[in-house]
Structure 1
Amino acid sequence: MSERLISSEVEIAADPGVAFEAFTAELDLWWVRGPINFHDSARAIEMRCEPGVGGRLLEVYDEAAGDVLELARITAWEPGTRLAWQSSLDDVETEIRFDPSAGGTTVSVVARIPADGLDRGGTAWVRVVPPWFGDWCVRRDSADRRPDEIARLAVGVYYERPVAAARWLADVLGFRYLGELPEEKDSSADEPDDPPWMEFRIGHGSLMLFKLEGERHGAPSHVPWIYVDDVGAHFDHARANGATIVEELHDKWGLPLYVTDDLEGNRWTIAQARPTMR
């Protein structure tokens, strides 16, 4: 077996020096917290990149006790140009390049798996850097400088066609998907028709989509409430894109809201957010 390469890239509206600093020093700010985004999600409190060759990429559990998981060792540290590390958990080598572009910087990620080498998750950076770091760089000038921790309440919704549902929720209701929306596979294909994990982030809340096994019984008994910045514009967009409106936009208890069913009949209440909501 020969060496395998996996790559991705993202355009950042900042110069290479700023992009490098944001990537390394602000790792804990752009790393998305979620149920499956750490090796030990129940204990992780920080993601850290130690500067310089020989520095470590760490998943921190207890700073005072020195309880950390070493993810990788830095092998190249060239501010504004290049960063590289060797995974401590498998055989994957990762290189990040910061190349000037017309819009700022092209951040390229290349993961190398040596011949007969193992990938136990080291290539994940190829998948997460474009959506997570790209999103952070769009928001960083005005974003809170505290890690964007998820709320204690998360919602899982089950669909016969979760990929189609994810695209509907993104396109019609404007929910923010964590990553690149998957494409629905041909039902006749041999490969699985659904990815293993699909997650939206709504404020600090995590909305997860799962495959419905078996038949759906009865009318929906749980109705999630989603708060949006401009419920009037949101209502107009949803209706224009074919949403099944159950209750028109109206005031209830002084709160503007509307109710809609999605493509599989799950019900959602969309309400106006207060200016202070995060």
Structure 2
Amino acid sequence: MTRKSATASIEVGVDPLIAFQAFTEEIGQWWVPGPINAWDSARAVTKRIEPGVGGRFLEVYDDTTGDALELGRITVWEPGARLVYRSSVDATEVDVRFEAIDSGTRVRVEHYLLPGGEVGEGSLFWPNVLHWLESWCARRDAATSPEPRQLARLSAALYYEDPAAAARWLAKVFGLTSWDRIPAEGAQPSWIELHVGNVAVLLFPLAGKRSADEPVTHEMWVYVDDLDAHHARATGHGATIVSEIQQHGYRAYTARDLEAHQWTFIQASPAMP
């Protein structure tokens, strides 16, 4: 009988031993924080994998006291080749393999249901998060340690008829970034999270079509390091400029995105981190 499983693979530009090290020792660096990426996001501060067979995969709540949730126990530990852990929170197992290729390493994960087990929708989650490792391996040599990967205390939500297209446009034209990834052409994820610094901008699908006389009421204000360069980037990509750069005690300009939300970009002060 074929077991229920979900698989994914990525290619990273480092050798298998480094890829294994990045996956295990640096998981706290590349695991994306957020309200749906933890068992208890209100308490979670990082993820950690203890080395060797019998080591634990942990969601850490307090480094001082050692308070943590055991997510799994390692059953296979072969640095540069393979890692397997059995979940401690549901009836699944995760098998991660590292294969040398010309460009570096192919990392393949299989997340599968154990015989006789039952899990809810979304439990076989590893194929949905493996690509976070890919982006980490691409920047790990230049990254500061530790990276500022905690979300701010305020997030904003915007609704679009096509959130995926909006995400691509906002990344290209306004320079918004993602700790996850920008959806590719044809992809329609239900949850898209972009970032300005550590502030999350959440993009959700609009219910139905926005009527021609329905105003778009939400406006974003974003502080940028170089207002003139940002204005040049936006105009170079064809953004509609509502008001050019002006001085009002602050220097700012306003532009519309592809679905008519207005964005005001302001020159950040030297005192603003």
TM-score, scaled to structure 1: 0.82
- For the residue of structure 1 that corresponds to 2:38, the secondary structure is coil
Residues 4 and 232 (structure 1 numbering): CA distance in 2 closer, same or farther, change over 3 Å?
Answer: farther
Q: Provide the residue aligned with 2:28 in structure 1.
A: 28
2-structure distance, mates of 1:243, 1:113: 48
Asked if the contact 2:241/2:254 (under 8 Å) is kept, the reply is yes
Supply the AA of the counterpart residue of 2:239.
Answer: A
Asked if the contact 2:158/2:218 (under 8 Å) is kept, the reply is no
Supply the AA of the counterpart residue of 2:26.
Answer: E
From 261, 264, 270, give the equivalent of 1:269.
264
Q: Provide the residue aligned with 1:181 in structure 2.
A: 183
From 184, 192, 198, give the equivalent of 2:192.
198
Supply the AA of the counterpart residue of 1:208.
Answer: L
Identity, in percent, stands at 45
Residues 116 and 235 (structure 1 numbering): CA distance in 2 closer, same or farther, change over 3 Å?
Answer: farther
1:19-58, CA deviations, whole angstroms, 9 ceiling, x for partnerless residues? 1111111111111111211111111122111111111111
Deviation of 1:233 (Å): 4.5
2-structure distance, mates of 1:183, 1:88: 37
Residues 277 and 104 (structure 1 numbering): CA distance in 2 closer, same or farther, change over 3 Å?
Answer: farther
TM-score, scaled to structure 2: 0.83
1-structure distance, mates of 2:128, 2:217: 36
2-structure distance, mates of 1:74, 1:113: 16
> 1:222-261 maps to which residues of 2 (within 5 A)?
222-228=218-224, 231-249=227-245, 253=249, 255=251, 257-261=252-256
Q: Provide the residue aligned with 2:37 in structure 1.
A: 37
Range with greater deviation from structure 2 (202-211 or 263-272): 263-272
1:185-226, CA deviations, whole angstroms, 9 ceiling, x for partnerless residues? 8xxxxxxxx643221122111111123448688655543223
- For the residue of structure 1 that corresponds to 2:126, the secondary structure is helix
Asked if the contact 1:2/1:116 (under 8 Å) is kept, the reply is no
Deviation of 1:246 (Å): 0.7
Q: Provide the residue aligned with 2:113 in structure 1.
A: 113
1-structure distance, mates of 2:6, 2:226: 40
Residues 229 and 109 (structure 1 numbering): CA distance in 2 closer, same or farther, change over 3 Å?
Answer: farther
Deviation of 1:74 (Å): 0.9
1:212-253, CA deviations, whole angstroms, 9 ceiling, x for partnerless residues? 448688655543223445544543443343322112345654
Asked if the contact 2:55/2:74 (under 8 Å) is kept, the reply is yes
Q: Which runs of 5+ in 2 are unaligned?
A: none
For the aligned residues, what is the CA RMSD?
2.9
Q: Provide the residue aligned with 2:72 in structure 1.
A: 72
Are 1:172 and 2:167 an aligned pair? Answer: no
Asked if the contact 2:239/2:256 (under 8 Å) is kept, the reply is yes
2-structure distance, mates of 1:234, 1:114: 51
> 1:130-145 maps to which residues of 2 (within 5 A)?
130=131, 132-145=132-145
- For the residue of structure 1 that corresponds to 2:234, the secondary structure is helix
1-structure distance, mates of 2:87, 2:144: 30
2-structure distance, mates of 1:86, 1:98: 18
Q: Provide the residue aligned with 1:94 in structure 2.
A: 94
Are 1:207 and 2:210 an aligned pair? Answer: no
1:113-140, CA deviations, whole angstroms, 9 ceiling, x for partnerless residues? 346643444422211121x111212222
2-structure distance, mates of 1:230, 1:118: 53
Q: How many aligned residue pairs are there? A: 268
2-structure distance, mates of 1:154, 1:267: 17
Q: Provide the residue aligned with 2:49 in structure 1.
A: 49
Residues 118 and 232 (structure 1 numbering): CA distance in 2 closer, same or farther, change over 3 Å?
Answer: farther
Range with greater deviation from structure 2 (205-214 or 38-47): 205-214
Residues 78 and 61 (structure 1 numbering): CA distance in 2 closer, same or farther, change over 3 Å?
Answer: same
